[in-house]
């Protein structure tokens, strides 16, 4: 699966109902509609690439991450739950977890915590998918803040299980923890995350 190299122009804010459109496109992707994937790539590639470019050490790393992440979207679109977040928030969280995994393997995970945050003005390019869309910006902050309320071990286990699709056994191996411990962390983390998101005002 091949995509053109992303550019970083300012993308106009999505038309009203953009979240609905994205959800419909993800549903089509889940049914293996390649045209729908191309449409989402045209809409999402710039802001996702911008985020990866800020977090990863080199432009080629960001480009590779972008290609890999759209393959993930193709494979796991059926896991998108519109009751928890918008399509773009779901996509951004997958990209964030993917970058975290890359940095962790390179021993540079600290870059995610010391790098730009959602409350940092320099993070604006991340929101190019709808820079003037306050609802979209709030949606991303909502999910990130919900994740921040999990304990560190629970958050890491949830990110690996949900956004990277690691199995319990793979997570246990990566983190060198008993499988039962990992399963408990995932279960507690998902229950707490769902509760936080459903009761967020």
In a domain, 96, yes or no: yes
Per-residue pLDDT at 11: 31
Residues 24 and 66 in one domain: yes
Give the chain's domain count. 2
Cβ pair 23, 82 in contact under 8 A:
yes
Per-residue pLDDT at 138: 65
Q: Is the dihedral of CA 129, 15, 19, 146 positive or negative?
A: positive
| Structural domain span for residue 77 | 18-132
Residues 6+ positions from 31 with CB-CB distance below 8 Å: none
pTM here is: 0.57
Residues 125 and 186 in one domain: no
- Give the pLDDT confidence of 70-127 residue by residue, as tens digits: 999 999 899 888 877 788 888 888 888 888 888 877 765 444 444 444 434 333 334 4
The residue with greater pLDDT, 135 or 30, is 30
Residue that has been written with the tokens 């991303």 in this structure: 140
Residues 6+ positions from 38 with CB-CB distance below 8 Å: 3
Cβ pair 20, 56 in contact under 8 A:
no
Residues 126 and 155 in one domain: no
């Amino acid at each position: 699966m091949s995509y053109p190299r992303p550019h970083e122009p300012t993308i106009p804010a999505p038309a009203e109902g953009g979240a609905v459109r994205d959800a419909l496109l993800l549903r089509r992707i889940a049914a293996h509609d390649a045209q729908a994937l191309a449409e989402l790539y045209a809409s999402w590639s710039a802001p996702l690439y911008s985020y990866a470019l800020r977090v990863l050490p080199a432009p080629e790393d960001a480009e590779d991450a972008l290609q890999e992440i759209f393959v993930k979207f193709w494979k796991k679109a059926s896991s998108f739950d519109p009751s928890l977040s918008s399509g773009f928030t779901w996509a951004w969280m997958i990209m964030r977890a993917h970058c975290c995994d890359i940095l962790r393997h390179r021993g540079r995970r600290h870059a995610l915590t010391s790098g730009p945050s959602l409350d940092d003005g320099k993070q604006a390019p991340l929101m190019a998918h709808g820079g003037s869309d306050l609802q979209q910006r709030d949606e991303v902050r909502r999910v990130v803040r919900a994740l921040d309320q999990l304990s560190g071990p629970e958050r890491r286990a949830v990110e690996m299980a949900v956004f990277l699709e690691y199995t319990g056994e793979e997570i246990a191996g990566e983190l060198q923890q008993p499988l039962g411990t990992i399963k408990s962390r995932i279960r507690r983390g998902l229950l707490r995350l769902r509760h936080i998101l459903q009761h967020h005002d």
